Amino acid sequence: MPADAPLATITIAGGGFAGWLAASLLARALPDLAISLVEVPGPDRSLGVAAAADVLLPDDLPLLGEAGWNGPDLLRGGRAGFVLGTALSGWRADGATAFMPYGEIGAPLGPIPFHQLVSTMRRRGQPVNMANYALGALAAQAGRFAPPPPGDETVHAALTFGLSIDTARLAEMLRGDALERGVRLAGTWHGEAVQRGDGGVQRLVLADGTSLAADLVIDASGPASPLSGARDDWSPWFPFDRVASARRTSEAPAPPYVHCDAHHAGWQSFAPLADGVGELFVFSSADAPGAPAAEPFAPGCQQAAWTGNVVRIGGAAAQHDPVAGLQLHLALADVLRLIALFPAACEHPAEAAEYNRQWREKTECAFDTALLRLACSGALGAVWDRLRARALPDRAAYRRDLYAANGRVVLHDGEVLEEAGWTALFDALCVQPRKGDALSDALPSAKITAHFAAIRQAMIAAVGRMPPYQALMAQVAA
Amino acid sequence: MNGSAIERIVIVGGGTAGWMTAAALAHRLQGLPVSITLVESEEIGTVGVGEATVPHIRFFNARLGIDEADFMRRTSATFKLGIEFRNWGRKGDSYIHPFGVFGEEIEGVAFHHLWARFARAGGRDAVEAFSLPVLAARMDRFAHPDSDPESLLSTYSYAYQFDAGLYAAYLRAYAEARGVRRVEGRITAALQHAETGFVDSVVLESGERVAGELFVDCSGFRGLLIEQALHAGYEDWSHWLPCDRAVAVPCRSEAALSPYTRATALDAGWAWRIPLQHRVGNGHVYCSSHISDEAARDALLGQIEGEPIAEPRLLRFTTGRRRKQWDRNVVAIGLAAGFLEPLESTSIHLIQLAIGRLLDHWPDRDWDPFCAREYNRLMDLEYERVRDFLILHYHATERDDTPFWRQVRTMAVPESLAHRLETFRKRGVVVNYRDGMFLDASWIAVYLGQRVIPEAGDPRSEALSDAGLMLRLAAMRDDYARMAAQLPTQAAFLARIGANAS
Ligand SMILES: Cc1cc2nc3c(=O)[nH]c(=O)nc-3n(C[C@H](O)[C@H](O)[C@H](O)COP(=O)(O)OP(=O)(O)OC[C@H]3O[C@@H](n4cnc5c(N)ncnc54)[C@H](O)[C@@H]3O)c2cc1C
């Protein structure tokens, strides 16, 4: 194959969620490509761990929309529930529950960020619950919800939501779409491949003995991929090593948020679907001797996602502790990045280098997000004590320590949380700034209190105008 | 106010950095029990240059509540739509880096990919035919942009070119009206705490002592506090940006009032031309190991358009940045913090950014080390990213006609820039980051303007037929040309909004 030959054929290894997502989005973006997909037997670990439900973050929805998948498709195809944030129980040392909403919290007062005003009031002895000033949290609490209508400029427009989807159902829909657009299902693959010298693959050998060559191989076969390269092990930071998932059906839709409950050996989450709940149970095997059957998993990532002509996406590139609910978001980011940087030629070191740079940035930020979510918690149990006793890596430690010093949020290039998201995370876990913003501290309490009251009043009024969540979901179902 | 709040701020220096800082702090800290004192020395004077800006300055002025027409009248300012670069890619080349975008994307494919494909298919229109600010600049026309995203007038932004001395005076009046105390006199010593090295006060020639808790060092290149007292250290970048001197001279204006700055590459550096309402600022930035001061001055005088109205002034500098821009209780802003040559008019923006970041990380007398640490991390990133953008102008050249150009064309560049260049050259991808003042459009303007044309593009751009693409681009080009021709001249526009200097 001449190096500058145009890239014309792709093979996707793995027919799980990540594989069909890549197949559908690539077939839509680049209709001239010849795309084949080979299936890998066994449960779908293409996103990292097999979960009954996964979450699309608020920012993912417009990106998917641009790629051709709109909200109504996702709602129907994924039996989705809306997600306004995450409710935490058992995560705080003081035993209190907390809510981490998506979207902005409160509103700044002139140039002063809302969370600095909160911090000023708390240091003056006034307890303030940030969630009382977040539209998503108030809507979740009231059991009311409606997506803001397009072009809305009222308080309602600030309502920020993601979707919790039934992973297997949505994979089915993506598969149907990809096949309709000409993606070829080429057979079953057990992992045999003829490697090239450069970390790439010449051809895959299929179960029936035939072989399949491709200019580019997209590895969507999950963390145990036979095409795995050198890997960084994250187990020193992440003690949880077992995962189990289940889907429960229910008459009524579950409320519009993810509920995450910490317990002595790990944590458990419940993600809302249109007709039930996706449960995830994650724990440390050393701390839960009598636990029911669960699958082992080992957080870590590839040293490079793209080597030679192999691009690893989703769980094949990195396996994160699922605590921050990012695995679907990250797989989508991988596919969109691949499309944005799609190579013109069979040899493509420049595209691969830039892909790897962006992927690493994002992977590190997701690592920090999951790690801080665990390490800042006050949950009770020996495994949590061990987690907290370990020194954090520099970057994650700096994020926490800076916030604890003065409430500032560090933002790198690959963030999965923006300032509001980090603030919500730290605040929910009781990490509080020692000092505040001097300009905020100079404001009289009455002025801040009046500002808070005005925000809360406007938000409560906006929530009051939303329909009950159950009614909305009944309408979606109809 | 907490018990350890800063109560006395001392700003050392009354150049652009000092008075911008004083004005912004006086505004933001209004009503708080804080005193702001600014010390400057007329005898030492200011650097006296620094007249071309970037659009962010408008937000600085707007925050302070400054009225545009009033400000332009009193600083003899003109509008700026971008910078014309002459002779950079090759001798005879000219392109404009505008404050705006090129073309429109089609079906999710960025315009520069479409243009590159169009050029590969034999399309003849230069990329500037697809930029309203460039077309307007070439015709000396200007009007305010429109916020309606449907309008072509929303495709650009603008900055100013002003008289630096008048701007400092303007801000001084603003700051003094808001309680800033100005002290005239030369500082001869800084008194430091014996153990911590924190600056307690500065001593003037007269013997007067000015004490404070927070010191903002705006003393220019010398870095009176940050370097001479605290020895923060300086990271020298002259192996990448070897120009180390400038000679500046204002002259009478002989041409139409152009709404852009010009940077003309010469044999061992480049010359600026900054048109103000009442005069033109000129200067020659050069590398002293490749040209003598005398030859540099002659080269400048030989190419200015009108009679000089002052003696040429020589300035020396070392490109680089202070290792710690915030050290103990001293924050360096302006030339005291570092120097990046004025090729992209970035220094005043870096001043503005520093002031904003200082307010974001406002300390108290407990001096939590995290304030300085995060401030320095963020400012370091900004300086590095501007640095890379400047190096690009020198390095992405085909010039081979002097030893200077051979040196910069073949030198090793920072890894970060090498990756950016390679990625654009091979596949037309603009590598960019969250922090850093230059957006994708700026990188594209300089890449294409300096003949870095992608060898391959986004495969999605192949979905359009050649004929279809030609048609779409021709329609776009006609829209831009029609709109540019409708704009008023800058002179007419200044008169219309009442911004003519008296
Ligand atoms: C050749 C050249 C061209 C430039 N062009 C541009 C441009 O187009 N756009 C742009 O944005 N920037 C430009 N800059 C940068 C810009 O000029 C500076 O960023 C800006 O003027 C700020 O300077 P400053 O206030 O830090 O320093 P200065 O102007 O040097 O001011 C220093 C102040 O400190 C005082 N001082 C110093 N020592 C003492 C002492 N011992 N006692 C008392 N007072 C003291 C001085 O009196 C003076 O008031 C250019 C710079 C150079 C060198």
- For chain B, the domains span 8-51+163-234+319-367, 83-154+245-316+368-502
Give the number of other Cβ atoms within 10 Å of residue B292's Cβ. 11
Which residue on chain B is closest to A407 by alpha carbon? B361
Report the C-alpha dihedral over residues B443, B446, B447, B452, rounded to 10 degrees.
Answer: -170
Most B-contacting residue of A406, A409, A415, A440 (CB-CB within 10 A), to test interface: A406
pLDDT tens digits, A28-37: 999 999 999 9
Block means of pLDDT (10 residues each) for chain A, 478 residues, are 81 98 97 96 96 97 94 93 98 95 95 94 95 96 94 93 97 98 97 91 95 96 95 96 95 92 97 96 93 91 97 98 97 97 93 98 98 97 96 97 95 96 97 88 94 97 96 88
Would residue B324 show up in a list of annotated catalytic residues for this protein?
no
The best mutation among B347, B348, B351, B383 to test binding of ligand 1, ranked by most ligand atoms within 8 Å of the C-beta, falls on B347
For A439, which of B362, B427, B429 is closest by C-beta distance?
B362
- Helix, strand or coil for residue B235? strand
Tell whether A437 is within 8 A of chain B (Cβ): yes
Count how many Cα atoms sit within 13 Å of the Cα of residue B56 in the half-sphere of its side chain.
Answer: 16
The ranges of chain B with pLDDT < 70 are 1-2
Whether B218 lines ligand 1, by a CB cut-off of 6 Å, is: yes
| Closest to A220 measured CA to CA, from A27, A40, A69, A36 | A40
Task: Please check whether the two domains, B8-51+163-234+319-367 and B83-154+245-316+368-502, share a CATH topology.
Answer: yes
Whether B123 lines ligand 1, by a CB cut-off of 6 Å, is: no
Find all residues with CB under 8 Å of A321, minimum gap 6, and list them: A234, A238, A240, A282, A299, A370, A371, A374
What per-residue confidence (pLDDT) applies to A2? Answer: 64
What per-residue confidence (pLDDT) applies to A173? Answer: 97
Which residues of B fall below an 8 Å CB-CB distance to A? 1-2, 5-6, 28-29, 31-32, 108, 359-364, 366, 368, 370-371, 373-374, 419, 422-423, 425-427, 429, 431, 433-434, 456-460, 462-463
| Closest to A67 measured CA to CA, from A169, A193, A174 | A174
Report the C-alpha dihedral over residues B117, B120, B124, B126, rounded to 10 degrees.
Answer: 60
For A405, which of B368, B419, B456 is closest by C-beta distance?
B368
What per-residue confidence (pLDDT) applies to B1? Answer: 47
Whether B16 lines ligand 1, by a CB cut-off of 6 Å, is: yes
Interface pTM, i.e. ipTM: 0.94
Whether B266 lines ligand 1, by a CB cut-off of 6 Å, is: no
Which residue on chain B is closest to A418 by alpha carbon? B434
**Measured over all CA atoms, what is the biggest interatomic distance in chain B, rounded to whole angstroms?**
79
What per-residue confidence (pLDDT) applies to B122? Answer: 85
Is CATH 3.60.20.10 correct for B8-51+163-234+319-367?
no
CA distance B134 to B81: 7
Whether B347 lines ligand 1, by a CB cut-off of 6 Å, is: yes
Å between B426 CA and nearest CA of chain A: 7
pLDDT tens digits, B130-144: 999 999 999 999 999
Residues belonging to chain B: 502
Q: Which parts of B247-368 fold into alpha helices (H)?
A: 293-303, 347-360
Contact list in B for residue A344 (CB cut-off 8 A) is 427, 456-457, 459
Residue nearest to atom 51 of ligand 1 (CA): B50
Q: Residue B38 is inside which H or E element, if any?
A: strand B35-40
Catalytic: which of B80, B91, B324, B426?
Answer: B80
Query: In CATH, what number does B83-154+245-316+368-502 get?
Result: 3.50.50.60
What per-residue confidence (pLDDT) applies to B464? Answer: 83
* A341/B1 Cβ within 8 A: no
